[in-house]
């Protein structure tokens, strides 16, 4: 169900419940890091403190998993609404500002606009591709068996 609305990029991205915010952003080609993080980041271990995102207060309170102990320690001197993307799992649709340490022109109005537009419903569950593949394989096997059986009876 979750849809992440990235304000800076003007982009809505669908993901599945429980997906890691950093991984979704990187998968979608969203620039998550400033200069320091681009030059070198910890790869999502919560150690480099470069994958900042701002989560506006008007988002649903359970949109992301709660701050981890790593975040509580690393974000002590950062604004309350900031998170480390690598530590946050998406649970509900929400609005996100990437790289909050870098200025964004008219940020407040951009966030208000993003929050005012209803978030579209996204997928409600993980894809079941492996089961579908198995079903197809089963059907093919049955068809082949049916033909063979039919041939034996004739």
Question: Which residues contribute to the site for ligand FES (CB under 6 A)?
Answer: 41-42, 44-51, 84, 86
- Determine the residue with CB nearest ligand FES: 86
The least CB distance from residue 135 to ligand FES, in Å, is 39
| Closest to ligand FES by CB, 15 or 86 | 86
d(CA 73, CA 124): 33
The least CB distance from residue 26 to ligand FES, in Å, is 10
The CA–CA distances, whole Å, from 55 to 60, 91, 95, 119 equal: 10, 13, 7, 15
| Closest to ligand FES by CB, 1 or 26 | 26
The least CB distance from residue 51 to ligand FES, in Å, is 3
d(CA 97, CA 114): 10
| Closest to ligand FES by CB, 63 or 85 | 85
Collect all residues with Cβ–Cβ distance below 8 Å to 119 and sequence separation of at least 6.
Answer: 3, 5, 12, 93, 94, 95
């Amino acid at each position: 169900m979750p849809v992440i609305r990235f304000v800076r990029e003007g982009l809505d991205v669908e993901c599945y419940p429980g997906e890691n915010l950093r991984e979704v952003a990187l998968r979608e080609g969203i620039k998550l890091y400033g200069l320091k993080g681009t030059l070198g980041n910890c790869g999502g271990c919560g150690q480099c403190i470069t994958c900042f995102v701002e989560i506006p207060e008007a988002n649903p309170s359970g949109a992301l998993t709660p701050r981890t102990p790593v975040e509580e320690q690393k974000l002590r001197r950062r604004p309350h609404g900031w998170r480390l993307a690598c530590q946050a799992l998406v649970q509900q649709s929400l609005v996100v500002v990437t790289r909050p340490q870098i200025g964004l022109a008219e940020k407040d109005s951009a966030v208000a606009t993003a929050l005012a537009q209803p978030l579209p419903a996204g997928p409600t569950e993980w894809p079941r591709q492996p089961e579908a593949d198995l079903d197809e394989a089963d059907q093919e096997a049955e068809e082949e068996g049916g033909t063979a059986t039919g041939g034996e009876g004739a």
